[in-house]
Chains A and B, each alone.
Chain A
Amino acid sequence: MKSSVSKNRNLAWVVIFLLPNTILYFMYTILPAILTAVYSLLDWNGFQSAGEFCGIQNYVELFNDDIFLTSLKVTFKFMLFAVPVRFLVSMLFGLLLNSRKCLFKSFFRTLLFLPVVTTGAIIGTIMIMIFDPSHGPVNIVLEGLGLIDKGKSLLGSYDTALYTSAIIWIWKWMGMSLIYWIASLQSIPDELYEAAKIDGASGFQSFMAITAPLLKPFAVIILLLTIGDSLRVFDILLTLTNGGPFYSTETIELFIYHTAFTDRIPRLGYASAAATIFALFFCVVAIVQSAFKKRGGE
Chain B
Amino acid sequence: MLKKIALILISLCVILPSAFANGSTEGSSDDVFTWWDHYETFTDIVNSMLDEYSAESGREVEYTLSSPDKMSDSLLVAFRTDQMPDVMSLPFSDMTSVCTMFAEGWFQPLAVEFEDLPQVAKDAMFEGITMYDGEVYSVPIFSQSHTALFFYHPSMVSEAPTSWEELYNSCKQVYEESNGETYGLVLPMTFTKRMKETIEQLMDAAGEPVIDYSTGEYNYDSDAMMEFFYWMTRMWDEGLIHPSSVNFNMKQARERWAVGEAAYLIDGIYNVGITKKNFDPELSDIAVCEPVSANGQPYMIYKWPMVGGYYISKNCDNVEVATDMILSMIEDDIMLEMANVQDNPPVNTSVIADADVHETYLQSCDIFNRTIGLKPFPVAKNPDTEKVYAEMKTISPSPIEILNGYFSGAITDWEAALHEYNDKMIAERDRAIEKVRSNGYNVSLDDWVFPNFAYGESYTADKYQEL
Q: Residues of A with Cβ closer than 8 Å to B? A: 7, 11, 14-15, 18-19, 22-23, 26-27, 30-31, 45-49, 66-67, 128, 132-135, 150-153, 155-159, 161, 240-242, 244-248, 260-268
Contact = CB atoms under 8 A, between A and B. Distances in A.
Given A23-B16, A265-B100, A133 B243 contact: yes
Contact of B9 (A15, A151, A244): A15
A48 B409 contact: no
Given A157-B409, A244-B190, A245-B404, A262 B69 contact: yes
A265 B13 contact: no
A153 B393 CA distance: 32
Q: How large is the interface on B (under 10, 10 to 19, 20 to 34, 35 or more residues)?
A: 35 or more
B390 A158 contact: no
A260 B72 CA distance: 11
Contact of B246 (A7, A18, A156): A156
B97 A132 contact: no
Nearest to A18: B9
Nearest to A266: B76
Interface in B99-131: 100-101, 104-106
A158 B17 contact: no
Contacts of A161: 408
Given A14-B5, A248-B410, A264 B94 contact: yes
B100 A134 contact: no
A175 to B, nearest CB: 26
B125 to A, nearest CB: 22
Contact of B408 (A157, A240, A264, A266): A157
A158 B12 CA distance: 51
B407 A156 contact: yes
Interface stretch (B150-158, B273-281, B394-402): B394-402
A23 B394 CA distance: 39
A48 B243 CA distance: 40
Contacts of B190: 241-242, 244
Contacts of B303: none
Given A67-B396, A157-B409, A265-B390, A134 B247 contact: no
Contacts of B242: 134
Interface of B: 1, 4-5, 8-9, 12-14, 16-17, 69, 72-73, 76, 79-80, 94, 96-97, 100-101, 104-106, 180, 183, 189-190, 193, 239, 242-247, 249, 252, 261, 389-390, 392-394, 396-397, 401, 404-405, 407-411
Most buried by B among A15, A31, A66, A156: A156
A134 B411 contact: no
A132 B244 contact: yes
A244 B72 CA distance: 20
A66 B401 CA distance: 14
Contacts of A159: 409
Nearest to A125: B252
Contacts of B17: 23, 26-27, 31
Contact of B405 (A151, A152, A245): A245
A153 B246 contact: yes
Nearest to A240: B247
Interface of A is mostly: loop
Interface of B is mostly: helix
B337 to A, nearest CB: 32
B405 A46 contact: no
Contacts of B76: 46-47, 260-261, 266
A108 to B, nearest CB: 32
B394 A156 contact: no
Contacts of B79: 47, 49
Contacts of A263: 394
A156 B247 contact: yes
A132 B193 CA distance: 24
A244 B408 contact: yes
A244 B189 contact: yes
Given A26-B17, A128-B247, A245-B404, A49 B105 contact: yes
A261 B94 CA distance: 14
5 contacts: A49-B79, A245-B246, A245-B407, A261-B73, A264-B394
Given A15-B8, A244-B247, A265-B394, A49 B407 contact: no
Contacts of A22: 9, 12-13
A245 B247 contact: yes
Given A246-B401, A246-B405, A265-B394, A11 B1 contact: yes
Contact of B97 (A30, A47, A152, A247): A47
A159 B69 CA distance: 28
A161 B190 CA distance: 14
Contact of A261 (B12, B72, B246, B249): B72
Nearest to B394: A263
A241 B16 contact: no
A142 B193 CA distance: 34
A156 B243 contact: yes
B244 A156 contact: yes
A248 B408 contact: yes
Contact of A156 (B9, B97, B389, B408): B408
A47 B13 contact: no
A18 B247 CA distance: 47
Contacts of B392: 265
Contacts of A240: 247
A157 B13 CA distance: 49
B194 to A, nearest CB: 12
Nearest to A26: B13
Contacts of B4: 11
Contacts of A158: 405, 408-410
A22 B80 CA distance: 25
Contacts of B80: 46, 49, 268
Nearest to B12: A19
Contacts of A7: 1
Contacts of A18: 5, 9
